Structure 1
Amino acid sequence: MRAKFLGKDPESLQGDSPTLFATDRTDRTTYIAQGWKVTDPQVLADVGPVPDHETLIEIPEDVLTFYARRYQQKEGDN
């Protein structure tokens, strides 16, 4: 599997996250998100147990615009 850079939070400093990548999986469309680790106890309590092989990351709405842009481009290709 390969990951293609889509974009990064424009408000992040050089070398910081959050960043969004698209994968080239052929069985399903997936994204890799590099972001801030969620450590807020209230959020963790609200979400509930997270399996050891999973994690929660916080992604700013601005970063999701990169997903929206890619989605619109894919729709335009059809």
Structure 2
Amino acid sequence: MRARFLGKDPDSIGGNSPTLYATDRTDRATYIAQGWKVTDPRVLADIGPVPDHETLVEIPEDVLKFYTRRYPEREGKN
């Protein structure tokens, strides 16, 4: 599996995360989000158990707009 950069948080300090990537999986469309690890106990309680092989990552809404870069031919069409 490979990852393709889609975009980075425009308000990121020092050019770091949060960032969104698209994978090249052929069986389904998936994304990799680089963001802030969720550690707030109230949020973790709201979500419930997370398997050891998974984690929760918080990313700003502005980063989600980069989803459309996976499908450039769809941009601007609603």
TM-score range, shorter chain: 0.7 to 0.9
Question: How far 1:15 sits from its partner (Å)?
Answer: 4.0
- State the SS of the aligned residue for 1:14: helix
Q: How many residues end up aligned between the 2 structures?
A: 75
**In structure 1, C-alpha distance between the alignment counterparts of 2:19 and 2:71, rounded to whole Å:** 19
**In structure 1, C-alpha distance between the alignment counterparts of 2:5 and 2:37, rounded to whole Å:** 20
Alignment of structure 1 residues 15-54 onto 2, 5 Å:
15-54=15-54
Alignment-derived partner of residue 12 in structure 1: 12
Structure 2 residue 72 is the aligned partner of structure 1 residue 73: yes
CA RMSD of aligned residues (A): 1.6
Question: How far 1:16 sits from its partner (Å)?
Answer: 1.7
Question: What TM-score does the superposition give when structure 1 sets the normalisation length?
Answer: 0.87
**In structure 2, C-alpha distance between the alignment counterparts of 1:10 and 1:73, rounded to whole Å:** 19
